[in-house]
Structure 1
Amino acid sequence: MSTPTPLDADAVLWSADPGDRDGRPLLVLLHGYGADERDLFGLVPYLPSELAVAAVRAPLAPPFPAPGYSWYPIEGLETRDPAHITAAARGLIAWTDAAAAAHRTIGLLGFSQGSAVALQAMRLEPARFAFAVNLSGYVTPGDLPRDSELAELRPPVFWGRGTNDDVIPDFLVAHTTEWLPGHVELSGRVYPGLSHSVSEQELADVRVFLDKQLAQDDGGPGSA
């Protein structure tokens, strides 16, 4: 079993000061491979103002000369080790234990690697996270002990991806397509011509999804 690497509590960007965010729903942003906490923080103006937003930094440095940080090692497109992804998800959960106790609900939004970690964390702790947004990411193959619990709770998940995304292997897209509908309340969209990136239309769809989650927020799954 891989050991989780702790997240750096000082490498987190918050959308509000502590006194302005306590008690508000929390959305945690998880960037992709080779980026850092600043990457997705630029999405804050597109997100509902009711949310407190935290952009966290992944704990690992990719091999030189790749820039930024990573959630888990990638030796090649076909060699993503599930144990590493699970360890990264446990590190995220540990961070929420320390940092998110003041928030009544927690949602996750990840891009690429960050999405894989977000979905894995939801599988490890199904009642902790109210919803997830999966942008150009995937579900890690293999069974986890609480997958059946997740299938009973069926938290909302938005999945967006582009038709021209050549980064995520086809077998992972196929696995995610098959796995998600049986375990979550799935919504989302495939964007024609979009590569491994995020578009204005996708951000608009994410905003609709998040507004819906806020409207339905009643202190259910993900409550602190």
Structure 2
Amino acid sequence: MPEALVLDADAVLWSTERSALAGRHLLLLLHGYGADEHDLYPLRGYLPDAFAVASLAAPLVPPWPAPGRSWYPIDGLDGRDPSHVTRAAEAVIAWVDAHAGDAASVGLLGFSQGAAVSLQAMRLAPQRFSFAVNLSGYVTPGDLPKDAELAERRPPVFWGRGTNDDVIPGFLVEHTTQWLPERVDLSGRVYPGLTHSVSEQELDDVRIFLDKQLEERTDAPGR
């Protein structure tokens, strides 16, 4: 059995002092392949101030000469094994349990690989995560034990992607298009001309989505 992945707690970028997290709503940022914890951290300027933000570092180093870090392999046979996405998601859940247990709620915002891991983490622990933002990502094929619980809870998920994104294979986009509406409260948009990236229009939509999540959690503490 493969050894469990462990996230580097010292590499996490926090928007607030860790000691000030208690009772705050926490938003985790999960970067894409070849990036690191610094990549999405500047997005906090577009996000509601009420969130404490923690930008995580993926646990793996891509094969040379690729820069940065990765959540799971994308090349060869390993790149087609969904268990690697699950291992990465389990590492995120373990980090949350160890370092964010006192947060009022925990949401996920991931890009590409980070989005796939975010959705996988929500599938593994539907009760642990309040919502997810999926930017240019996808749902990993295959069944998980708590998918039925996820479908019953129907947590909010925002999915944004571009019409010119040629990185995510079409069959994964199609799978995600069919899978998400049956199991989550889905919102989002397809952005004309957008490549495998994030636009300001998309960030405006993400801000609206996150403001709504804060409003609902303020009205119903503990959600």
Q: TM-score, normalised by structure 2?
A: 0.96
SS in 2 for 1:160: strand
SS in 1 for 2:133: strand
Letter in 2 for 1:39: D
Deviation at 1:3, TM superposition (A): 3.5
Task: Look up the match of 1:209.
Answer: 209
Aligned residues: 221
The whole-number CA distance in structure 2 between the counterparts of 1:119 and 1:2 is 22
Task: Look up the match of 1:124.
Answer: 124
The whole-number CA distance in structure 2 between the counterparts of 1:113 and 1:219 is 31
Task: Look up the match of 2:221.
Answer: 219
* Structure 2 runs not aligned, ≥5 long: none
Contact 1:77 1:168 in 2 (8 A): no
CA RMSD in angstroms comes to 1.4
* Structure 1 runs not aligned, ≥5 long: none
The whole-number CA distance in structure 1 between the counterparts of 2:4 and 2:197 is 28
Cα deviation digits, residues 90-144 of structure 1 (max 9, x gap):
0000000111012010000000000000000000001110000000000000000
Deviation at 1:78, TM superposition (A): 10
Deviation at 1:81, TM superposition (A): 1.4
Cα deviation digits, residues 4-28 of structure 1 (max 9, x gap):
3100000000001134332110000
Contact 2:115 2:134 in 1 (8 A): yes
Task: Look up the match of 1:69.
Answer: 69
Task: Look up the match of 1:26.
Answer: 26
Cα deviation digits, residues 183-209 of structure 1 (max 9, x gap):
000000000000000000000000000
Q: In the TM superposition, what are the counterparts of 1:13-162 in structure 2 within 5 Å?
A: 13-75=13-75, 79-162=79-162
Does the C-alpha gap of structure 1 residues 69 and 91 become closer, same or farther in structure 2, counting only changes over 3 Å? same
The whole-number CA distance in structure 2 between the counterparts of 1:65 and 1:197 is 22
Aligned-pair identity in percent equals 69
Letter in 1 for 2:5: T
